[in-house]
Amino acid sequence: MKYLTADFGSTYTKLTVIDSEKHSILGTASAFTTIDTDIMVGFNNALQSLEAKIGKFNYDQLLCCSSARGGLKMVALGFVPELTAKAAKMAASSAGAKVVKAYSFEISKTEQDEIYNIDPDLILLCGGTNGGNKDVIISNAKRLCEINRDFSIIIAGNKSASHELDTIFKKSEKDYIITDNVMPSFNKLEIEPARKAIKELFIKKIVEAKGLAAIQKISAGEVIPTPLAVMNACELLSKGTKTNAGIGEFMAIDLGGATTDIYSMAKGDPTMENMLVKGLPEPFSKRTVEGDLGMRYSLNSLFSELDIDTFETETGIGKKEVADWVAFCTNNPNTITESNSKEHLIEESLAREAVSIAVERHCGYWESTYSPIGEIYSIIGKDLSDIPLVIGIGGAIINSHQPAKILDGVKYNPKKYNCMRPKSPQYMLDKKYIFASMGLLSIVDPDLALDLIKKETQLI
| Per-residue pLDDT tens digits for 214-233 | 788 888 888 888 888 999 99
Tell me the β-bridge partners of 288. 262
Average pLDDT over residues 269-290: 84
- Please give the pLDDT value at position 450: 97
Q: In the chain, what percentage of residues exceed pLDDT 90?
A: 48
Higher-confidence residue: 81 or 283?
A: 283
Of the ranges 56-60, 223-227, 292-296, which is most confident?
A: 56-60
Side chain identity at residue 185, one-letter code: S
pLDDT in tens, 389-440: 999 998 789 888 889 999 999 999 898 889 999 999 999 999 888 999 999 9
pLDDT band of 59, cuts 50, 70, 90:
very high
Higher-confidence residue: 309 or 441?
A: 441
Q: How far apart are CA 449 and CA 368, in angstroms?
A: 44
DSSP secondary structure of 385-434: TT--EEEEESHHHHT-S-HHHHHGGGS--GGGTTB---SS-EEEE-TT--
The SS3 call for residue 22 is coil
Average pLDDT over residues 344-369: 90
pLDDT band of 68, cuts 50, 70, 90:
low
pTM (predicted TM-score) = 0.83
Higher-confidence residue: 97 or 13?
A: 13
- Please give the pLDDT value at position 26: 95
- Please give the pLDDT value at position 211: 67
pLDDT band of 69, cuts 50, 70, 90:
low
Check pLDDT > 90 for residue 155: yes
- Please give the pLDDT value at position 70: 58
Report the candidate in 255, 236, 256, 226 with the shortest Cα–Cα distance to residue 454: 236
pLDDT in tens, 101-145: 889 889 999 999 999 999 998 999 998 888 988 899 999 999 999
- Cβ neighbors of 188 (< 8 A, separation 6 or more) are none
- Please give the pLDDT value at position 132: 87
Residue 17 near residue 4 (C-beta atoms within 8 A): yes
Could you give the residue range(s) of every CATH 3.40.50.2300 domain in the chain? 69-204
User: What CATH class does 2-68+210-226+433-459 carry?
Assistant: alpha beta
pLDDT band of 306, cuts 50, 70, 90:
confident
- Cβ neighbors of 193 (< 8 A, separation 6 or more) are 156, 179, 180
Q: Tell me the pairing of strands 122-125 and 72-78.
A: parallel
Average pLDDT over residues 293-311: 84
- Please give the pLDDT value at position 124: 93
Check pLDDT > 60 for residue 169: yes
Domain 69-204: assigned CATH number: 3.40.50.2300
Least confident residue range of 50-54, 122-126, 297-301:
297-301
Check pLDDT > 70 for residue 199: yes
Task: Calculate the average pLDDT of the chain.
Answer: 88
